[in-house]
Structure 1
Amino acid sequence: MTCDISIVNETRLDPRFPFSRHELGDLMNILLDSLGLEGCSLVIKLVADQEIARLNKEFMGCVGPTNVLSFPVADEPELGVRQEGEGPVFLGELALSVDAVGREASLYGQPPVLHLARLLAHGTLHLAGYDHGDSMYDMTDAAVDRVQLEYAVVE
């Protein structure tokens, strides 16, 4: 099932950023399916470090840039069974620093596609109401493993 994913590019993409807008949508469909969130919708804003630092200070009270921020539409999204004809469940919005994706992938020695998948899975799970912990980390790892298989990424 294809999900309704809106991608808003608010910055010049870092050359190390591994995907076009269309490819990013395909990646998100794989992640949402892997996380059991197929049929959900969300917005991804691609931003620079300066913008994510502003958002981080305004909404989280933290100084400096981060890699991804989640802005859920509800504390506990209605993720139950949807009736035929009902629209997708809107999870909320992710702000993703494209600068951080390239920088951190190099820093951690990870293929950019896998680091991007990890950040998007992590942020999406926050949108779906998950907090940090073993369950969230296990789901993130499983989603990244699926992306690695789908894209035949060799580390």
Structure 2
Amino acid sequence: MIRIERSVFADPRFPLSNAELEEIFYGLAQVFDVQEGELSLRLVSDKVMAALNQAITGCLGPTNILSFPGEESGWLGDLVLSVDTLARETFLYNQDLHQYTIRLLAHGFLHLLGHDHGPEMDSLTDLAVLSLAQEDPYVMP
């Protein structure tokens, strides 16, 4: 079960529907062999993300995604994704929106599963993008 909360509605920079987001998460669960569990995804603005980022990590400014692993059995945790930062980074890095969304959600999902930054996490993120994206993530659009 995936709960999606949109604090940002009808943003043309983020055209993915809740159904498409759920499909990505079900794909991630399959790629990473997660048999069961629930999570929530909150889509927010940079303003909301900057406040959360400072309160939680002490870092100033927005970030693309924050992960809050669950502490209860069956609860994977909460993800918070800044739609503003996603749109900005997609443009700056010349990325396909769908692929980059998969990359960020995979990154956050792996944190929920207990992974930390490093080569293994990078490889697993690449695996998710290659498995779920329609095209090669390393080919420039």
Give the one of 99, 112, 121 matched to 2:97. 112
| TM-score between the two structures when normalised by the length of structure 2 | 0.90
The letter of the residue matching 1:119 is L
Q: What does the per-residue CA deviation read over 1:13-65, in whole Å, with 9 as the maximum and x for residues that have no partner? A: 43121411111111111122112224221000010100010100000100001
Matched residue count: 138
The letter of the residue matching 1:52 is M
Question: SS at 1:7's partner residue?
Answer: strand
* Percent of residue pairs identical: 43
Is contact 1:52–1:65 with CA below 8 Å preserved after alignment?
Answer: yes
Structure 1: where are the runs of 5+ without partners?
Answer: 79-88
Question: SS at 1:95's partner residue?
Answer: strand
Is contact 1:52–1:97 with CA below 8 Å preserved after alignment?
Answer: yes
Point out which structure has higher relative CO (alpha carbons under 8 A, 6+ apart). 1
The letter of the residue matching 1:138 is S
Q: What does the per-residue CA deviation read over 1:71-103, in whole Å, with 9 as the maximum and x for residues that have no partner? A: 1113xx86xxxxxxxxxx211000000111111
The letter of the residue matching 2:47 is Q
After the TM superposition, list the runs of 4 or more consecutive aligned residues in structure 1 that deviate by more than 4 angstroms.
none
Q: Give 2:120's aligned residue.
A: 135
Q: Give 1:46's aligned residue.
A: 43
The letter of the residue matching 2:30 is D
Kindly report the root-mean-square deviation, in angstroms, between the aligned alpha carbons of the 2 structures.
1.7
Take 1:92 and 1:107, find their aligned partners in 2: how far apart are those partners?
Answer: 29
Q: Give 1:126's aligned residue.
A: 111
Q: Relative to 1, partners in 2 of residues 1:29 and 1:5: Cα closer, same or farther, differing over 3 Å?
A: same
Q: Rg: which structure is higher?
A: 1
| TM-score between the two structures when normalised by the length of structure 1 | 0.82
